[in-house]
Chains A and B, each alone.
Chain A
Amino acid sequence: MPDPISPARAQRQGVLVALAGQQNAGKSTLFNVLTGARQHVANYPGVTVDKKHGQYSDDLGTVYTVDLPGTYSLTSFSLEERVAREFLLGDRPDVTVNVADASNLRRSLHLTLQLLELELPLVLALNMMDVAASQGIQVDKDLLARRLGLPVVTTIGRKGEGREGLRQAIRGVEDPQTDMGQPDPGTVVRYSALEPAIGQLMARIATEPALADLPRRWLALQLLQGDPAAVQLLVDRLGDDGTRALRETAGRFIEAFETEHRIEVSDHVVSCRDRTVERLLAGAVQGAGDGRPSLTDRVDRVVLNRWAAPFFLVATVFAIYQVSIVWGYELTNYTWPLLAKGREVIAGVLPSADFLVDPYTRSLGLWLVDSANTLLNYVPIFLILFAAIAVIEDSGYMARIAFILDKILHRFGLHGQSTLPLILGGVFAGGCAVPGVMATKGIPDTRARMATIFTVPFMNCLAKVPLYTLLLGIFFVEHKSLMMFYISTMTIVFALLVAKLLTKTVLSGQETSPFVMELPHYHLPTVTGVLRRSLERTWQYIKKVGTVVLAVAVVVFALLHLPGLSAERKAHFEAEAQAAVERFAAALEGNAYRDVALGENLVPLINYFTDYKRAKLNATGRAGSERVAERFQARNADFYPLVKPPSGDRDARKAWRELRKLARARQGLRRDMREEQIRTSLLGSIGRGLEPVTQFAGFDWKINIALLSSFAARESSVATLGVLFQQDDDQNASLEERMGAETRAGGATALLAVSMILFFALYPPCLATTIMVKVQTGSYKWMLFAIVFPTALGLGVASAVYSVGTALGATGIEAMSAVYWGAVALLLVVGLLSDRQASRRLRERLAET
């Protein structure tokens, strides 16, 4: 597959530009300004770091641009730094644009100096000039350019200013004719006492032809700082022996230097760079750090105030929840009819239904449309949700949320930045694990990130709610509000406990990193920035999740339909259908509408009848009903009197009554057939095969099937239960009543409901989420774990509660209360213990040093 970015420099068409910069320097915004709409997101090979690339054209041709991950420096300690460095060294972009925060040049230029050491053609873009100006900071960019020997441009990414200047500067650097002149000798980093070692190591490196393409001074410096990725680079080029020799040489220099100067090489390197930065900035930057409290300081005095902070946090979380979940859900009331209309259109195109069995093209087609609609239904929610998150991220408050909550979450192996994923997942009631898992991307600590990914699915996603509502309506009419309280708060209790369990066991080997985080200045988010991010993420969701869900929908469809009914049973149902039709024909003997209704017209008429009923049901208001009437009159004027008998027409009335009877009989038959088909299907066999295991939790095969099919999409659990528990059509009972009556008759109790609720709360993430888990962890192994572990946990808990509860004769509400308060108690114990442990370990570690 040709990727315009990756081919080696020589064969490349056009120019390759990389954007490098520190976090919060506005790099991505500037990337958008530079590139415009043509951009794509991919992953760097083997890791989950986003690789954003795009392109634009100017007079001289196409320019490919890559937005590197934000990094404070170019060491190899973090994944982002390794990715950025490997790209710069391996792909050797024609031009690298260093995006620097003009209001914090003292720190930004550290990265600039490291980029210079990589000997890359460089442009320095001083971004956020407006922020600098508002703080009274003035930058003499020409002086800075002369000192650095680099083109320096000023930009304001948020306002889209400086694009032309930057594009011209890129062309200027890329053209080898241009000579920027040599940098001011006083501003090249000199590492004073380390220089002799650097020089000698460079001479050694020069003798190795395999290292000829690497910047020598940079490599020497990295080896002296003991950079593990640089060592790996040597191993790749020189093999183990050659590496050992070089490392030993470097090791001797390090030891000599550290004993003589009593300072670590890396500290020395950083402070030398800092002194260089100071010289660079002297006279070039005015007015920095005048000590006046900035706007950010004043806002934080209120927002992060010890007593007010929790209030602002809760208000923010509530606002996100209200705007995206509640209002978004209301919005789906307007968008759902559109999807339903789409379904009607497709249903009209597909081959029409037969009396008993639908053609596979029809049933599979509608099945796929339904699966897609289930996902698309959430699109309005996601658009708002992602926009709300973008606002919080861009404004700078997200980092404050992490700051406030880190203590609690860290105690259980999570991270301050786990808050957002958990909120999106639906901490209280209503969310979705897919954006939740997606949002874990920002968590810098790998172990906490993994723990968050595996606990987000325990939240109450929107699709779990219908099953809870159903079960509470049947078994807990008296204790509904108490049960609702348990269900909506146990999520976080379970999540914290499981996070702790996982970080102590399977995740204990994962990399952790410290919580050292910048609290960026507050910014007013821009409309385009927020919209772009919201659309981008929603589209990602549709693309990634949609395709896979459709594929699996086909598999589930097959599992539900194969092997199909035996010829004998088919004949049985056909005979019943025949009998119903004959009864209908007999009743219409002598009726004026007999010829319209019978013969070839029969099946179309029944379909017409059911379509009409559904259309009436969906129509709102008088105007809606009138439109339906018009539509059906236009569709078939002959049939119309049979679905809406004109007053006084006794024949029509009689025919309508008989038609209704026949339609019901048909519906009942179809349902029986479907139930039998599901029972004998592969999925049904699996459901029954699981009974020996699930019986301890009280689940029979029907519940098993419902839970299995809900893996494809949570919503389908209630729908499947609906099919399985629907028996007699004449009694007009709701699913709650039917299921209640039947399961109670089968000995089911509220205890079974508790067992089901607990299982459902801990049950594996739905298919869409597991795909997201794969995307975010980058491994099928972890995806599998995300399925197997919660299933085992859920089944274990449900079985224990059901078995012990049955043995003790506990009622449902008693069992639930016991589980809930037991979990809360465990949470407190674990929380207190881990605090003690942590402080003991720290004391030991400090005593060692």
Chain B
Amino acid sequence: MLSLNDIRPGGRVRIRRHLSTGAIRQRLLDLGLMPNVIVTVVRSAPLNDPIELKLDASNVSLRRTEARTIEVSPLEAETAESDHA
């Protein structure tokens, strides 16, 4: 299973689900990282961590620790199936 941490800069992915709980999960959801949302990995920081994501109208950065808890599927490999409509 791919996590957001595995995506290289420039990659576009769809968020599938969160493995985190509590405050972290809520924060990710609040900033727009909701299941089924498409995000682009823009870059990693000069020291490789954290990473920057581009969402619909905003840019969000998060540590790789948190990125590892977000399951994603790459857009090109995506099939018609979806976990929850």
Contacts and interface: CB of A to CB of B under 8 A. Distances in A.
B60 A517 contact: yes
Interface stretch (A35-43, A402-410, A751-759): A402-410
Interface size class of A (residues with CB under 8 A): 35 or more
A106 B32 contact: yes
Contacts of B52: 300, 304, 403, 519
Interface in B25-54: 25-32, 34-36, 42-43, 45-50, 52, 54
B63 interface: yes
Given A104-B57, A514-B24, A842 B63 contact: no
B49 A110 contact: no
Given A75-B26, A404-B45, A267 B35 contact: yes
A72 interface: yes
Given A77-B23, A304-B43, A515-B66, A271 B59 contact: no
A263 B50 CA distance: 29
Given A106-B32, A404-B45, A78 B23 contact: yes
Contacts of A516: 24, 27-28, 31, 60-63, 66
Given A77-B22, A513-B23, A407 B48 contact: yes
A503 to B, nearest CB: 15
B62 A515 contact: yes
Nearest to B44: A306
B56 interface: yes
A107 to B, nearest CB: 5
B63 to A, nearest CB: 5
B14 to A, nearest CB: 13
A310 B20 CA distance: 32
Contact of A514 (B27, B43, B46): B27
A520 B57 CA distance: 10
B46 A517 contact: no
Contacts of A289: 56-57
Interface string A270-308: 110010000000000000110000001100100010110
A518 interface: yes
B45 A407 contact: yes
A77 B27 contact: yes
Contacts of A263: 84
B20 to A, nearest CB: 8
A193 B25 CA distance: 22
A226 to B, nearest CB: 10
B58 interface: yes
Contacts of A261: 84
Contacts of A77: 22-23, 26-27
A304 B46 CA distance: 8
Interface in A368-411: 399, 403-404, 406-408, 410
A516 B60 CA distance: 7
A288 B68 CA distance: 30
A524 interface: no
Contact of B30 (A72, A271, A406, A846): A72
A266 interface: yes
A73 B42 CA distance: 25
Contacts of B59: 296, 300, 518-519
Contacts of A274: 34
A106 B84 contact: no
Interface in A91-115: 103-104, 106-107, 110
Contacts of A515: 50, 61-63, 66
Interface in A250-277: 261-263, 266-267, 270-271, 274
Contact of A107 (B32, B43, B50): B32
A810 B29 CA distance: 59
A519 B61 CA distance: 7
A8 to B, nearest CB: 31
Nearest to B32: A107
A407 B50 contact: yes
A849 interface: yes
A60 interface: no
Contacts of A288: 56-57
Contacts of B75: none
A72 B60 CA distance: 13
CB-CB nearest 10 A-B residue pairs: A72-B30, A77-B23, A407-B47, A104-B57, A519-B59, A516-B62, A514-B24, A73-B30, A515-B63, A309-B46
28 contacts: A73-B30, A107-B32, A263-B84, A267-B18, A267-B29, A271-B35, A304-B46, A304-B52, A306-B46, A399-B61, A403-B61, A406-B45, A406-B50, A407-B47, A513-B24, A514-B28, A516-B31, A516-B61, A516-B66, A517-B61, A518-B31, A519-B52, A519-B60, A519-B61, A838-B65, A842-B65, A846-B19, A849-B19
Interface of B: 17-20, 22-32, 34-36, 42-43, 45-50, 52, 54, 56-63, 65-66, 68-69, 84
Interface of A: 72-73, 75, 77-78, 103-104, 106-107, 110, 261-263, 266-267, 270-271, 274, 288-289, 296-297, 300, 304, 306-307, 309-310, 399, 403-404, 406-408, 410, 416, 513-520, 838, 842, 846, 849
Given A78-B27, A407-B50, A519-B52, 14 more contacts: A77-B26, A267-B35, A271-B34, A300-B42, A300-B59, A304-B45, A403-B50, A407-B49, A514-B24, A515-B66, A516-B24, A518-B58, A838-B65, A846-B68
